[in-house]
Amino acid sequence: MFDAMKVKTECVEWIRNFFEKNGAGCNAVVGISGGKDSSIAAALCVEALGKDRVVGVLMPQGEQHDIDMAYLLVNHLGIRHYEVNIKEAVDSLIAALPPDLEVSTQAKTNLPPRIRMSTLYAVSQSVNGRVVNTCNLSEDFVGYSTRYGDAAGDFSPLCNLTVTEVKEIGYLLGLPKVLVDKTPIDGLCGKTDEENLGFTYAELDVYIRTGKIEDLEKKALIDRKHAANLFKLQLMSSFKPHI
């Protein structure tokens, strides 16, 4: 049985210990999308460090239809925040690529989260910060993140918690329910996470924790995604010469 209160308390203490060892007095810098993960990660940091040491960065790409959710979060927590629109940076980089290079859909899809991470580090290094990784275990398990994009960061409070568990902690943190229950959308191609994945987070979370799943086709799909994306969770492979 998942004890959300116990895990929340332990996570808050873990964040405090991280900063004591890796930047006493530094600020937590978190990209705010308006979704549950960034909302809960930011709220955990506020509880651990105080609102004066948490900085939110909103990074729409042009018009963001749900940016009001991001502002709801930063205003609810009372944290300092900046809005940086990344559209011009993304468009400029794509335009700067060689004209004879056929830029793939995958490259175009993953460029914005990588620009966002560069933005977060630009802010972080300007405010004496440490960047929060907001990925959860469910996403990481099937590779649902962009390497060197949202998969990057300096510390990760949620990466060993499933979506179901993250939401339980979100309720305890007193966040507006609309943020915790917001349907997750990838922010890249406009589809929900579950539409992209081909299974629900509820199914995935049970499979991760118990190994049980009724639909064998979905089991095979999850297993394929997990195997194909394990490299994202590992350090970069490196040659070790025999010297």
Kindly report, residue by residue over 74-111, the tens digit of the pLDDT: 999 999 999 999 999 999 999 999 999 999 999 999 99
d(CA 85, CA 58): 8
Asked whether the beta carbons of 65 and 92 are under 8 A apart, the reply is no
pLDDT at residue 187 in the model: 55
Is the pLDDT at 142 greater than 70, yes or no?
Answer: yes
Residue 44 has pLDDT above 80, yes or no: yes
Predicted local confidence at residue 108, as pLDDT? 95
The CATH number of 4-233 is 3.40.50.620
Q: pTM value?
A: 0.94
